[in-house]
Amino acid sequence: MRPMLCLLLLLCPWALRAEVEITPDEVYSQVLLIERETELVKRVVKPTAQPQVWQPVQADLKPRHVWQKAYMVQMKLVAFRRRQGMEGLSPVVVEPRRDYDPRLTWVQTQRILTEIRFLRKILDIPGDAGAAPKVAGKKPVDVYNKLGEIEMQWDELAEVATDPSFTFAQALRFDEDVNALLRALNVLDNAIPPAKRPEAKPADSLAAVFEVLELVQRLQRLAGFETVDFSPFRRPGEVTPNHVFNLLGLTLAELQQIKAQAGLIHAITPPATYQENKTPADVTQFLGYVANKLRLIQHL
């Protein structure tokens, strides 16, 4: 009997394999390690840096939103590379799914850790971040908020905290996804951009993102998906380009569900391209153009 069992195991190695489950606790633990690595860089590069304070949100966020936030952190690492005179890199993008699980986000944390360690090696930054601490009871929104704090640190290190160009780069990615949807659904694209408002402020850009989000959620409901309440991301006070950038990233995460529903499971969102000298007026107008395209979609 034992020889027969051994033979079966040799012939069927897949029988020994099982998918590893990764929890938000484990992802959060890795994000804390990213925070430590970031602090090591800050001590050498900009020890007196005072980043903007991250405003925590309380929302029922999903792993797909955390994944998108990790991508945004990678964008800031690319900006830091350029600030240091290095070549820019393209952050890794994943194929669309109806939802992601924490394993994908965990992989993103490893990419971020690796990139920071590359930077430390190149810049000869000493120190040891130690082992990842153990945590318990964390939810995706906790991971999202911690990544937001870290992103603020890299905003300061890369000196890009108030640059609408990052939002415009995200808007271009979003537009490419919408174009792919229009083609897949055989929808004629006859949308035109709205008139440009030179006086537009970040608050206008944020309102434009919410308009796009509402149109995406209309498609989610059409496909039978549950929608998330993003009202905690509304800003009654001062709105910064980062607020716009954050919400647009979340909206892009929602759009991936629609792409998957439309059969675009291999249509990867293009990586962010380098943009500069963009203004809230540019962002607001372009998002209005994207919204007009989304209005053309009446079926999935």
pLDDT, residue 16, reads 42
pLDDT, residue 89, reads 82
User: Is the Cβ–Cβ distance between 178 and 296 less than 8 Å?
Assistant: no
Handedness of CA 235, 241, 243, 249 (dihedral sign): positive
Task: Kindly report the number of other CB atoms within 10 A of residue 15's CB atom.
Answer: 9
pLDDT, residue 93, reads 85
pTM of the model: 0.88
By the 10 Å C-beta count (0-12 exposed, 13-18 middle, 19+ buried), 30 is classed as buried
Token reading at 103: 């394993």
Write the single-letter amino acid at 266.
H
- H/E stretch holding 254 reads helix 241-261
- H/E stretch holding 37 reads helix 24-45
pLDDT, residue 241, reads 87
Token reading at 56: 């925590």
User: Is the Cβ–Cβ distance between 291 and 176 less than 8 Å?
Assistant: no
pLDDT, residue 4, reads 53
Return averaged pLDDT per consecutive 10 residues of the chain, 300 residues in all: 50 53 93 96 88 87 94 92 89 85 92 95 92 92 96 90 84 96 96 95 96 98 95 86 92 96 93 88 97 95
Distances (CA, A) of 126 to 33, 43, 119, 266: 15, 10, 11, 41
DSSP assignment of 65-123 equals HHHHHHHHHHHHHHHHHHHTTPPP---------S---HHHHHHHHHHHHHHHHHHHHHH
pLDDT digits (tens, 9 = 90+) for 181-209: 999 999 999 999 999 999 999 999 999 99
pLDDT, residue 162, reads 66
pLDDT, residue 66, reads 95
pLDDT, residue 2, reads 53
Catalogue the long-range contacts made by 85-89 (C-beta closer than 8 Å, 24 or more residues apart): 86/122, 88/274, 89/115
